[in-house]
Amino acid sequence: MIMEILEKLKELFEKVLEGDVDVSKVSPEARLVEDLDMQSISMLYMALAVEEEYGVKFDNDDFKKIRTVGDIIAKIEAEA
């Protein structure tokens, strides 16, 4: 299931961020800020897209904890 979520996340990164993130770098280990060069507004757009796609909800504490793509996958698996 992780690979299915990862592939969908790659699609969301491409669609939502319109090329601002190199999708080839998206992996469970990829750090959002350090590896993918995401800014806070990009993370917000991605959170909204993930909420819409998977029905999960992000709160302020989640934004403090989520540092990698794998953290997003774990959140989806925990709530979906």
Domains of the chain: residue spans and CATH: 2-79 (1.10.1200.10)
Give pLDDT tens digits for 22-51: 999 999 999 999 999 999 899 999 999 999
Question: Which DSSP category does 13 fall into?
Answer: H
pTM of the model: 0.91
Higher pLDDT residue, 62 or 6? Answer: 6
Helices and strands (H and E) in the chain: how many: 4, 0
Question: For residue 75, what pLDDT is reported?
Answer: 95
30 and 51 Cβ atoms separated by less than 8 Å: no
